[in-house]
Structure formats: C-alpha cells, structure tokens
Amino acid sequence: MNQSPIKVFITGAANGLAEVREGLADHPDVELVGTAADPVKAGAKLAESAAQVILHGTTANEHVPAPEVEAIRAVTAAPIVLVTSASANSLLSEALQAGIHDVVLLPQLTDGIVFTIKKAHSLAAGRAAGAAGKAASHAEGKVVTLFSPKGGSGKTALACNLATLFARRHDRRTLLLDLDLQFGDVAIMMGIEPEKTIYDLVMARRELDSEALAGYVTAHQSGVHVLPAPLRPEDAELVTEERLGHLFAVAKESYDVVVVDTPPFFHGPVLSTLDRTDQLVLVASMDVPAIKNVKLTLQTLDLLHYPKDRRHLLLNQTGSKVGLKKNEVERALDLKVAFELPGDKDLPSSVNRGVPLALANPRSGLVKSMGEIADKLVPQRVAADAKKKKRRGVR
C-alpha cells in the first residue's frame, strides 16, 4: 500500500528501548522522526514530526500510563504501540481498551517490531478511510463556511484550526474543504503533501459516493480529512457548481462537520457553497476597508435572501489599538459581533511551520477562543450523539 518508510516517533522509557531504537534506525521500512523521554513535554515536537506510528516505552507493568498516553493523544491521532519489558497481565486488555493499538513485550527482534509497526499503521490507515467511506446512519453533517471579502483576514488559518478542534476535541469526523480553488493554502497550512485534490475528484468518471470520496481525501495527523484545492490555478474552473453540489451531498453523509475555506470573492462555487452552508462565519479584520467590504457582503447576502440566523460576524485580531471599536463596527454593519479573536504572534509562526496552532499549542488563549467558537457553531450535543452511535457500533 505505502511504499515509503513509516514515520515512527519513540517516546517514554523501558528496559531495552535503546536497542529497539538502534535496530529501527537501520531498518529500511522505518524512518525515525524523533524521540522524547517525556511525551508531556514533547507536544510541539511530536505534532510537527508527522509521525505515523508512536512507540511508547513504559516501565509501569500493571497499568497503562494514562497521562503519558493522553499527552500523546492530545497532539496526534497516530496509532500508539506500547513497549514494555515487564510481563504484563492486565496491561494488554487495559491498553486495548484505552485505544492503544498493540503492546510489544521486550526483548524482541527488530523485524518483529517492524511487523507490529506496519500492522498498526495499516489498521489505522484503513480505519481512517473507513470513517469517510461509511454512509453512517446519523444526522447529516453540518457545513461551516468561512468567508471574508478581503484577503489576509485569517479565513484559512481559522478554517484549519477549527477543523483540528472539531476532530481532536470532540472526536467529530471532520472534512476540511479548500474552495479557494486558485490559490488555496489549506494543504500548506496543515503541513501535508496531498496525492489527490478536488481536481482529481471532479475529473473522475466514477460516480461519487462516500467510498469514492474517501479515496481523494488526505488524512491529517489530527484526524481531519483534507480535500485540497487543485495544484494548478488553471484547473480551478473545472470545479463546476454541479460537481460541488454532489460533493456536498456525499460529504454531509460521510462527515459530522465539513469546514469550508473560500477565496476573498463571490463566484459560482462560493454561491453554491452558501446554499449548503449551515453556519457562515464572516471574518473581518479591524480596519475600515474590511468593514466596508463586509457591509457590501451583507447587502449581497440580503439580495440572495441568505438567512440572517446563519450569519456570524467574527472580528479577528482585536485588542490592538487601531482606533476602531466593536460598538462602532456593530453600528456600521447593523449586526452584532458574534465572535472575537485576539491577535497571537504564535499563529503566523505555526502557519509557517505547517502545524495548526490547535495542535502545536492547544492551551493558548487564541486556541481557547477558537474552541468556544467551534462549540457554538456545532454544539456539543451533536458530538455526544455521534459518540453514542459510535458506541452502538455505527463506525
């Protein structure tokens, strides 16, 4: 399936783990992308490593080291293989219950460990594809669209982080769709190199269904499935409204949340997206031209009879003293500000590193505010339902 070496990150400590590391370092089927004795401290390093499998060494011989596993889980959805040298009676069943993929008892030949790594990787990849592939019998997914008539207002950064939060915090099956068809930056901000894009999807002859859609998305380590924009700007016009309509119908069946990033102007695909959008977030930076353009956007939405209760105004990078106040904006637009996001210098650097801030620094104030927005846009109840269904065996 995957010819390239599997990216492995080693965390924790166990007797014999150093030998395992040495063995894996020379193995052609594995690429060691990092090590960290304490996963709690390794957050950003682990998130940035794009590891596909985590080997976690533990000396706790009876119980799964829950805080360590949680720290790993907070930054990556990659499968975890527990490595221990202690004969472990209750450990195996406890580990499997805790979502650990496998337990390896040391000493072990390197080839045996590589086999376990391959097994964990292939099972996890199959599960990710299956998540998209199943036409689950749950309520339709919600479409959250970010729009701003002005470039550089923060749509893409926000789309990537909201999607990450939906997938990681609430365990929602999340699709991140890049409809900035000419100059989309979603793939680069998520730090992925997609094999397929929406261009391949619209060019395919095969009828689009959940299973086919799963073949075009790229699974990000956060759990988000990404459908990127075409690689060449000239291919954008091939993404017709008719094809998009079909894509939305199938995506709503396969996912709990579909987050859509858009270009800074209305065109056919954006209009057809609006038709299918449950929550439209209008992103505005704190400057007069941006507010003027939001005013024009609101007029267009009125002409389209776009429901008022689906429009949410978000002021981005508030807090800086730029001489514009929230109540002045509200008065000018005749619309309440639904959400505010502070400026945070860590966001541009996370964009440049290709790691969503929600993964790199989940505790930052900005991410906290984004989390509150995510909750309001798609309330928890939906996630709770999804979890219940998952327990009943829908997934």
State the Cα–Cα distance between residues 132 and 225, nearest whole angstrom. Answer: 8
Q: Which is nearer to ligand ATP, 254 or 361 (CB)?
A: 361
Query: Shortest Cβ distance from residue 369 to ligand ATP (Å)?
Result: 9
| Under rule CB under 6 A, residue 344 binds ligand ATP | yes
Q: Total binding residues for Mg ion by CB under 5 A?
A: 2
Query: Shortest Cβ distance from residue 285 to Mg ion (Å)?
Result: 13
| Under rule CB under 6 A, residue 297 binds ligand ATP | no
Kindly identify the residues of this chain, within the stretch 141-170, that bind Mg ion according to CB under 5 A. Answer: 155-156
Number of H helices, E strands in the chain: 17, 13
Q: Could you say which of ligand ATP, Mg ion, none residue 148 binds, taking C-beta under 5 to 8 angstroms by partner kind?
A: ligand ATP
Q: Which stretch binds ligand ATP (CB under 6 A): 39-47, 250-258, 268-276, 339-347?
A: 339-347
Query: Shortest Cβ distance from residue 332 to ligand ATP (Å)?
Result: 20
Residue 291 phi, psi dihedral angles, 5° rounding = -65, -40
State the Cα–Cα distance between residues 217 and 197, nearest whole angstrom. Answer: 7
Contact pick of 114, 347, 360, 367 for ligand ATP (by CB under 6 A): 347
Secondary structure class of 79 (helix, strand, coil): coil
Strands in 80-84's sheet, in edge-to-edge order, are 30-36, 6-12, 53-58, 80-84, 102-105
Q: Which is nearer to Mg ion, 56 or 155 (CB)?
A: 155
Q: Which is nearer to ligand ATP, 246 or 353 (CB)?
A: 353
Kindly identify the residues of this chain, within the stretch 119-158, that bind ligand ATP according to CB under 6 A. Answer: 148, 151-157
The gap between the terminal CA atoms of the chain, to the nearest Å, is: 23
**Are 251 and 213 in contact, with CB atoms under 8 Å apart?**
yes
Query: Shortest Cβ distance from residue 50 to ligand ATP (Å)?
Result: 20
| Under rule CB under 6 A, residue 163 binds ligand ATP | no
Query: Shortest Cβ distance from residue 312 to ligand ATP (Å)?
Result: 16
Q: Could you say which of ligand ATP, Mg ion, none residue 233 binds, taking C-beta under 5 to 8 angstroms by partner kind?
A: none
Radius of gyration, alpha carbons of the chain: 22
Kindly identify the residues of this chain, within the stretch 185-224, that bind ligand ATP according to CB under 6 A. Answer: 185
Query: Shortest Cβ distance from residue 232 to Mg ion (Å)?
Result: 17
Q: Which is nearer to Mg ion, 20 or 239 (CB)?
A: 239
**Are 244 and 270 in contact, with CB atoms under 8 Å apart?**
no
Pairing of strands 279-285, 311-318: parallel
Query: Shortest Cβ distance from residue 220 to ligand ATP (Å)?
Result: 17
State the Cα–Cα distance between residues 77 and 123, nearest whole angstrom. Answer: 13
Q: Residues for the chain: how many in total?
A: 395
**Are 137 and 101 in contact, with CB atoms under 8 Å apart?**
no
Q: How many CB atoms lie within 10 A of CB 208?
A: 17
Pairing of strands 142-147, 80-84: unpaired
**Are 122 and 258 in contact, with CB atoms under 8 Å apart?**
no
Q: Which is nearer to Mg ion, 45 or 155 (CB)?
A: 155
Q: Which residue is nearest to Mg ion (CB)?
A: 156
Q: Could you say which of Mg ion, ligand ATP, none residue 347 binds, taking C-beta under 5 to 8 angstroms by partner kind?
A: ligand ATP
Pairing of strands 80-84, 225-227: unpaired
Query: Shortest Cβ distance from residue 185 to Mg ion (Å)?
Result: 5
Query: Shortest Cβ distance from residue 260 to Mg ion (Å)?
Result: 12
Q: What is the DSSP letter of 6?
A: E
Kindly identify the residues of this chain, within the stretch 14-53, that bind ligand ATP according to CB under 6 A. Answer: none
Q: Which amino acid is at 64?
A: V
Q: Could you say which of ligand ATP, Mg ion, none residue 42 binds, taking C-beta under 5 to 8 angstroms by partner kind?
A: none
Q: Which is nearer to ligand ATP, 122 or 182 (CB)?
A: 182
State the Cα–Cα distance between residues 238 and 158, nearest whole angstrom. Answer: 26
Burial of 8 (0-12, 13-18, 19+ CB in 10 A): buried
Give the list of residues 6+ apart from residue 309 with CB closer than 8 angstroms, or none: none
Binding site for ligand ATP (CB under 6 A): 148, 151-157, 180, 185, 264, 316-317, 341, 343-344, 347-348, 351, 366
Binding residues for Mg ion, rule: CB under 5 A, are 155-156
